[in-house]
Amino acid sequence: MANKSKFQTIRGTRDLLPPDTALWNRVEQTAHEVFGTFGFGEIRPPIFEATDLFARAVGDETDIVSKEMFILAEQHDDRTVLELSHLRDTLRFMAVSSDHKPSIDFFVEKVGEFSDQYEAARKKGIVYADERAGIKLEYVKDSIGHLESLLKEDRFEGWRDRFDQTVRLCIQYLDLIILEQSNALRPEATASVCRAYIEHNMQQLPQPVKLYYMGAMFRRERPQKGRHRQFYQIGAEILGGPDAPAIDAELIEMLMTFFDKCGLQGAELSINSIGHAADNCRRGYVAKLREELLKVKDKLGADSQRRIETNPLRVLDSKLEHEQAIIATLPRIADHLCDDCKTHYAAVKRDLDLRGVKYRENWRLVRGLDYYMRTTFEITAQGLGSQNAVCGGGRYDGLVELLGGPPTKGIGFAIGEDRLILSLQEGGQALAAQGRDVFIAWMGQNAYATAIRAAKTLRDAGFRVELPATELKFGKALERASKLGSRFALILGDNEIQGGEWTLKNLANAEQQKLTEQALLEYLLKL
């Protein structure tokens, strides 16, 4: 029985294999080229960053942050952090082990030690700057102080229970102090690009700064066709400079040019404007929307009912059949945009027309990340089933500032590369397995040295060459050559070495010719 491998890819991840990877490479190469022509440079941020970065940028309440992030286990690799963590373990152990009930003095001493060391480390920036640590420590000290004063009264009975209870509560509070920054695998890269813009003072470069990236992203989603836990994005961001509508339009033009160059069929661009966060704009609209949603609450599903409170805009995303008719009657954001946002949106559409970019307006396009404002867009493609969005993006003018940088305009998109590839393949763009140009059938040790030289010469000239590592019988060699999809077999045996002319067999029509080394190279190069 075959020995089945114990290890397999983890749920939601997969291996990308040849010949598919050739298509991935072609798509990525096209992105490098097209984005380059629009003046974008490549950025490669790390794959994991502070959890807080994503929480702040994408939004605590979004599905991506609240349910789907891969948070990395804490690694105490700093000595101080390690000591603090041990100290806390000791206290915890005292609290749970009935054999090691601490004396109040010992407990007070250890808590004091923890508190002093923590404060010192915090001042030096060694431990994570947990904003609420001070409050937690205060609470612990107060509780112990209170207990100590109670113990001083002789009349106090049942002190043991009270002591145990206090210790347990103190430990719970101490446990809440975050010693080390929590890190997470990136669920998206816009937050990272903004972080990098601030960290490297890119506001001092000529504005706007245009950056693109490609790479793996991670979201703990339920895997299905076109949806993976490790997936790949190709994205671009424009940071700084004005928020001129031409910037939105050119970015979208670049995106559509890229899809066109990839040969993507049936790409449909939808656009919308979700205004900005002000009472006379989106906030006003959201209040109105919530009001209307409350009137029909009973007819909505559980998810939408919850979203009325958390994020009413997301109700518009609903795909539930029975909610569609209800949603169609809801107020539309276009009727509630402030004058500036309305003008901006109209200008974006005019500019897209000028560039010959076709779009459809979709008032329900609100996107699932918190940072968006004004222009939002999405592209769907064929052959993808329910997960048919190949790209999403939009404007996010407040994001850099939210992350601690200067007020900065921003807009960008990310293409789901897995879905793009899938759609290309469904559209018949699957690449054939990469064959070989020349298979070198060498026979005898005399021919081997020549075969090595021939392989090198041909490879240097750019041909795909297969040089078998062991000698093969003639028939076997030809069989292997055709299995590998080779166009030619170069036959090198004693005759060829002695005669100085090599035999080249065209495997498609079985024609054979004898050529000198130089003539062979010229012949192949001419093809």
Cβ proximity to ligand HAM, 312 vs 416, nearer residue: 416
Pick from 217, 235, 188: nearest CA to 13: 217
User: Within 10 Å of residue 218's Cβ, how many Cβ atoms?
Assistant: 21
Residue 413 CB, shortest distance to ligand HAM, in Å, is: 5
List binders of ligand HAM among 395-454 (CB under 6 A). Answer: 412-414, 416, 418-419
Cβ proximity to ligand HAM, 258 vs 439, nearer residue: 258
Q: Which stretch binds ligand HAM (CB under 6 A): 219-227, 245-253, 306-314, 511-519?
A: 219-227
Residue 181 in tokens: 């920054």
The one among 30, 51, 166, 190 contacting ligand HAM by CB under 6 A = 190
For residues 153 and 102, what is the distance between their CA atoms, to the nearest angstrom? Answer: 20
Residue 373 CB, shortest distance to ligand HAM, in Å, is: 11
List binders of ligand HAM among 371-390 (CB under 6 A). Answer: 389-390
For residues 73 and 180, what is the distance between their CA atoms, to the nearest angstrom? Answer: 10
For residues 423 and 419, what is the distance between their CA atoms, to the nearest angstrom? Answer: 6
Q: Which residue has the tokens 């407040």?
A: 398
Q: Is 393 in the site for ligand HAM (CB under 6 A)?
A: yes
Pick from 267, 378, 366: nearest CA to 316: 366
The one among 30, 166, 233, 375 contacting ligand HAM by CB under 6 A = 233
Q: Is 250 in the site for ligand HAM (CB under 6 A)?
A: no
Strand partners of residue 49: 184
Residue 393 CB, shortest distance to ligand HAM, in Å, is: 4
Residue 96 in tokens: 């749970």
Q: Is 240 in the site for ligand HAM (CB under 6 A)?
A: no
Helix (H) or strand (E) holding 46: none
| Contact predicate 377/286, CB 8 Å | no
Residue whose beta carbon is closest to ligand HAM:
416
Helices (H), 296-360: 302-310, 321-328, 339-354
Residue 1 CB, shortest distance to ligand HAM, in Å, is: 36
CA atoms within 13 A on the CB side of 527: 13
Strand partners of residue 503: 491, 514
| Contact predicate 271/359, CB 8 Å | yes
For residues 490 and 440, what is the distance between their CA atoms, to the nearest angstrom? Answer: 5
Q: Is 289 in the site for ligand HAM (CB under 6 A)?
A: no
Residue 220 CB, shortest distance to ligand HAM, in Å, is: 9
The conformation of residue 314, written as its DSSP 8-state character, comes to G
Residue 436 CB, shortest distance to ligand HAM, in Å, is: 33
Q: Is 227 in the site for ligand HAM (CB under 6 A)?
A: yes
Q: Is 259 in the site for ligand HAM (CB under 6 A)?
A: no
Residue 72 CB, shortest distance to ligand HAM, in Å, is: 19
Cβ proximity to ligand HAM, 197 vs 442, nearer residue: 197
Cβ proximity to ligand HAM, 219 vs 314, nearer residue: 219
Residue 401 in tokens: 């500032």
Question: Total number of residues binding ligand HAM (CB under 6 A)?
Answer: 24
List binders of ligand HAM among 98-157 (CB under 6 A). Answer: none
Peptide bond into 102 cis (omega under 30): no
Q: Which stretch binds ligand HAM (CB under 6 A): 99-107, 256-264, 285-293, 392-400?
A: 392-400
Cβ proximity to ligand HAM, 221 vs 401, nearer residue: 221
Pick from 271, 292, 393: nearest CA to 334: 271
Cα Rg of the chain (Å, integer): 32
The one among 118, 213, 231, 345 contacting ligand HAM by CB under 6 A = 231
Cβ proximity to ligand HAM, 111 vs 373, nearer residue: 373
Q: Is 237 in the site for ligand HAM (CB under 6 A)?
A: yes
Residue 237 CB, shortest distance to ligand HAM, in Å, is: 5
Cβ proximity to ligand HAM, 389 vs 472, nearer residue: 389
| Contact predicate 411/396, CB 8 Å | yes
Cα separations (Å) of 382 from 364, 392, 455? 20, 16, 43
For residues 212 and 35, what is the distance between their CA atoms, to the nearest angstrom? Answer: 8
Residue 423 CB, shortest distance to ligand HAM, in Å, is: 10
Cβ proximity to ligand HAM, 51 vs 486, nearer residue: 51
Residues that bind ligand HAM (CB under 6 A): 188, 190, 219, 221, 226-228, 231, 233, 235, 237, 369, 389-394, 412-414, 416, 418-419
